Chain A
Amino acid sequence: MYTVSEGIIRERFPHRWSSCGSYVLESMPFYHVYPGSQCLAIGTTSCNFRCRYCSNAYIAKEDPEIQQGRLYHLTPRELVGMARKFNCRSIVFNVNEPAVSLPSLLDVAEEAKAAAIPMGCLTNGYTTVESTELLASIFSFFNVSLKGISDSFNRTYIGVESSSPVLRTIRRLAQDRHVEVTTPVVQGANDSEIDTIADLLAEIDPEIPWHVLRLLPEDEMKDAEYPNIQAIDAALQSARKKLPYIYFHNFISSQWVNTLCPDCGCTVIERFSLGCGGDQLKRLFCKDSQCPDCGRKINLMSEQACFKSTQRVLQ
């Protein structure tokens, strides 16, 4: 979060982290980046959205001032040192919106780059063109939350006027960054948009992995019904023909978390789904990002690609 003093915008609580822990990348979720690897997951406080169903409301919506007592105070060097100590292959910002902490993240990125540790993030993508470029300079892989398309959904459930900035961000990042997209489905509110979202993503890049999440009713929606799994699965049928990497999860034992080869249909990556934030790699069958059966290239972020992209921007 920022404050303005003497005409200058400053970060209110630089280098204060609400979370810092070692987890598997699948649990973020990132399904197409270094399968099965550990990442150092970090977050700060606050957000530029006010989603009615925020799972981290006690961090994203609470006044950051009153959270200071329990935050981690870690310098960029200490964070990167932590990532090393815990054998983390990457650092991922995953709790709240990274755009509210850009100066701190730029500092971490510099240190991480020196240590050859790539960074990724979960973002709501509601950023200006300039902020998007800053995010692209920090992170080499993204999971952008495209929460819904219609203005009325965005006004009612998210507290913003339109999804256009988010779509603009996805388009921009997909040009030269690894992008996955997430959409929590609120039954009766945005489930009718499933096909529209699939069309939009397919038009940007049909290789984009799309995580369709069953909404976990939390926060202001705590008393809402849990969305119907069969109904959402049925609604995804036609979308699956447009996007080969569609996952439907965020509930225990989902069977829609494996990666299938878009050409021959064989399973190239198997995962377990333990529900919200608990997904894990089960088996990785592809080698050198290729289908073991037909040799088709699978969209997996590789080591080389990632370092090339961060270096291009940061140097």
Chain B
Amino acid sequence: MSIAVVDARGWQNTLDLKTGEKIETTGPVIDMVKGVLQRHPYPGDMDPGSNRWVSDTALDLIDRYGPRFVFLAYAAQYFSGRYTPMTKEARARMISDVFREAERFVSASGFAVIVVGTGDMTPLLGFINLTRLNGLAVCTHWSTRYAGLYEPSQDDMKVLGEHPHVERIIPREEVVGLFNGTPDQASRVPEYLILAREGYAFKTISDAMRMPVMIPSLNFDIPLHAPSHAVGAITGIRQALEKDLLEKNVALIAVEGVGLDEFLWPHLPCRNGMEWYYYEPGEAQYLTIVSGRHRFLDYPTGSGYKYFNGNEGTTRSYPFSGHFKSLPEGTFGSTFPGKSIAVGNKSMFMHMVAGADLSIECFARNLYNQGTMAVIHRQDKL
């Protein structure tokens, strides 16, 4: 059973990750994790200390657990860059702080690193309003490139086809065909996928109320710092990781909201998708990195687009795991025989995408800081 320990600032609860039910259980790993959560209250998504929290929490876990594989996500600059207007200089300072934080982690832990930037950000130029269509348009508020479209009228198609900020409208068959999707996967793909041009975001219902100032760019390629490896595509990162782990302890670090333009360490461009598709920052991008195969159709909401689900309010498994309804297969942590941990401040999906023995992440929804959550998938390796 995978166990979640939530820490709502000064109050901890132990739960069955799958059912969300409270459970009474103890053990050396649970006690150790509870102590780590207690010592590291999360400062908040846009707090200057947010990335430091990731390193400090990871270093504390490393001291106590001794993992060979560590997966970290630094995301404070993604949230701040997205919502806070800042000068070029302030942004450059913010980005250099992230890399300094990564350096601090590396020198304190002694781990070798592979670092991937999840993609550049660009100023928001405007919205493509999809709220007045006859059909139904859906989009996650974190996504800017993709929106799903159902039952469009002829007028809708004409308006969208002529819209200066819409790049393409792609029918379901083409989307499914690109990734060799199964019928089950196809059923979650909208009738059409609408693609926005760079700088534009879709306005659909259920948007976040906060106005972004920067959104992800068209990141067909992302930067990868993987010394002594030549990795051409996002699906090749796992192999590099496996190779390095044969010889040394390795940390895989995802730097959110940083792409080829701003990545400060030596790097090579790495293909971030296929043909017209690239991953926006989110669950599917992480899953693709750690599983070594494209996961675009497995986790639609985390891939940047959304499908319409009329039963969103009904009971489901993994209530504390964001959009996930089951444990994803093929994650790196779940197959790695050594000890593994993951720590991140990009919301509650690290424990699902990493599959690490132990994960700690912030529990923040729409930037509201509610505390932290640890997930224990394995207790038998301590």
Contacts and interface: CB of A to CB of B under 8 A. Distances in A.
Interface residues of B, number: 36
A21 B370 CA distance: 22
A2 interface: no
Interface in B126-154: 127, 131-132, 136
A299 interface: no
Interface string A35-71: 0111010010000000000011011000000000110
Interface string A63-107: 000000110101000100010011100000001000000000000
A95 B365 contact: no
Contact of B210 (A58, A87, A230): A58
Interface in A260-315: 272, 274-278, 280-283
Nearest to B83: A58
A19 interface: yes
B13 A78 contact: no
A237 interface: no
Contacts of A275: 8, 363, 365, 368, 370
Interface of A is mostly: mixed
Interface stretch (A6-14, A124-132, A138-146, A250-258): A250-258
B319 A272 contact: yes
Tell which of A56, A251, A253, A274 has the most Cβ of chain B within 10 Å.
Answer: A253
Contacts of A43: 209
Nearest to A72: B131
Given A253-B22, A281-B315, A86 B205 contact: yes
Contacts of A278: 365
A167 interface: no
A230 to B, nearest CB: 7
Contact of A20 (B205, B310, B315): B205
Contacts of B373: 252
B209 A253 contact: no
A229 B7 CA distance: 11
Nearest to A74: B131
Interface in B1-55: 6, 8-11, 13, 15, 20, 22
16 contacts: A18-B209, A20-B206, A21-B207, A23-B206, A58-B209, A74-B132, A85-B136, A86-B136, A216-B369, A226-B8, A251-B370, A252-B8, A253-B15, A255-B13, A276-B368, A277-B365
Which 10 pairs across A and B sit closest by C-beta, in order of nearness? A21-B206, A24-B313, A226-B9, A251-B8, A229-B11, A275-B370, A253-B13, A70-B211, A272-B319, A252-B6
Given A230-B11, A274-B319, 9 more contacts: A19-B209, A43-B209, A56-B209, A74-B131, A216-B369, A251-B9, A253-B320, A272-B319, A280-B315
Interface of A: 18-26, 36-38, 40, 43, 55-56, 58-59, 69-70, 72, 74, 78, 82, 85-87, 95, 216, 218, 226, 228-230, 251-253, 255, 272, 274-278, 280-283
